[in-house]
C-alpha cells in the first residue's frame, strides 16, 4: 500500500490522487444548487483543474483562505489556519439560496460548510475521521467565535482500495458522515 510511503514521488502521487477526487467532488457540488456558494477550494493548481476540464468560479479562492472569511486573523495566522478541501458559505434565512456576495453579510448570517475528503483503511476508517475533526477543530472554533450562525464539518471518507460494496452503513459523528462498507465476497 503506497499511502504510507515517504518517498517524494509517491507522496506527490498520493496528493494528486486526493486532489483529483476532491476536484470531482467540487465539480459535483458546483453543478447543484449550492455551486454558487463555494468560496474556497484546496484542490491543486488552476492548471490541474484545466487538465480535468474544470474551471474555478471567479469568486472562489484556491489554496489561500480568503481574508474576509477570517478577518480577525493576521496574515501569518491566516496562512497557518487549517484549510479544508472545500468551503461553502450559504446565507442564513434564505432557504440556502446561493449568494455570490456572501462576504458582504455579517458572519451571523453565514451557514458555513467545511468539506474534507480523506482516503482511509477500508476496514478502519475511524482514525481518519478523528484526524479530520482534529485538523479543523480550531478553524471551526474561530468561525463560531467570530459569530458565524452555523459551522458544519463534513468528512468524506473513501477506502484506499476502492472497495466495491453491496452494503453501505452510514454513521453520523459530530456533523460528519462516515461511510463504511463490507466488501463483496
pLDDT at position 99: 53
- The pTM score is 0.78
Distance CA 23, CA 14 (A): 14
Q: Is the pLDDT of residue 9 over 90?
A: no
Q: Is the pLDDT of residue 49 over 80?
A: no
Q: Using one digit for the tens of pLDDT, what is the confidence trace for 110-160?
A: 999 999 988 887 777 778 888 989 999 999 999 999 999 899 999 888 877
Domain residue limits at 42: 2-183
Q: Are 132 and 176 in contact (CB under 8 A)?
A: yes
Instruction: List Cβ neighbours of 57 (8 Å cut-off, separation of 6 or more).
Output: 30, 35, 36, 38
- In this structure, what C-alpha cell is assigned to residue 103? 462576504
pLDDT at position 85: 93
Higher pLDDT, 169 or 31: 31
Instruction: List Cβ neighbours of 12 (8 Å cut-off, separation of 6 or more).
Output: none
Residue closest to 182 by CA, chosen among 134, 139, 132, 122: 122
pLDDT at position 179: 42
pLDDT at position 151: 95
Residue closest to 68 by CA, chosen among 58, 76, 78, 56: 78
Q: Using one digit for the tens of pLDDT, what is the confidence trace for 151-180?
A: 999 988 887 776 433 223 434 333 444 444
Q: How many domains does the chain contain in total?
A: 1
Q: Using one digit for the tens of pLDDT, what is the confidence trace for 50-109?
A: 777 766 677 777 778 898 999 999 988 988 888 999 999 998 876 655 555 888 889 999
Q: What are phi and psi of 46, to 5 degrees?
A: -60, -30
Q: Is the pLDDT of residue 185 over 50?
A: no
Give SS3 for 86: strand
Distance CA 87, CA 116 (A): 9
Q: Are 182 and 166 in contact (CB under 8 A)?
A: yes
Q: What are phi and psi of 134, to 5 degrees?
A: -65, -40
- Winning range, highest mean pLDDT, from 27-36, 41-50, 52-61, 174-183: 27-36
Amino acid at each position: 500500500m503506497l499511502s504510507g510511503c515517504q518517498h517524494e514521488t509517491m507522496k506527490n502521487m498520493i496528493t494528486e490522487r486526493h486532489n483529483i477526487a476532491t476536484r470531482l467532488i467540487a465539480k459535483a457540488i458546483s453543478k447543484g444548487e449550492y455551486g454558487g456558494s463555494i468560496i474556497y477550494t484546496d484542490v491543486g493548481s488552476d492548471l490541474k483543474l484545466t487538465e480535468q476540464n474544470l474551471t474555478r468560479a471567479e469568486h472562489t479562492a484556491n489554496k489561500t483562505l480568503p481574508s474576509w472569511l477570517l478577518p480577525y486573523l493576521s496574515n501569518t495566522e491566516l496562512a497557518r489556519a487549517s484549510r479544508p478541501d472545500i468551503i461553502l458559505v450559504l446565507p442564513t434565512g434564505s432557504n440556502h439560496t446561493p449568494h455570490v456576495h456572501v462576504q458582504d453579510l455579517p458572519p451571523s448570517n453565514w451557514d458555513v460548510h467545511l468539506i474534507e475528503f480523506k482516503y482511509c483503511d477500508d476496514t478502519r476508517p475511524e482514525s481518519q475521521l478523528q484526524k479530520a475533526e482534529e485538523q479543523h477543530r480550531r478553524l471551526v472554533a474561530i468561525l463560531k467565535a467570530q459569530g458565524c450562525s452555523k459551522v458544519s464539518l463534513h468528512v468524506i471518507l473513501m477506502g484506499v482500495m476502492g472497495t466495491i460494496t453491496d452494503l453501505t452503513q452510514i454513521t453520523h459523528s459530530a456533523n460528519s458522515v462516515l461511510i463504511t462498507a463490507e466488501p463483496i465476497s
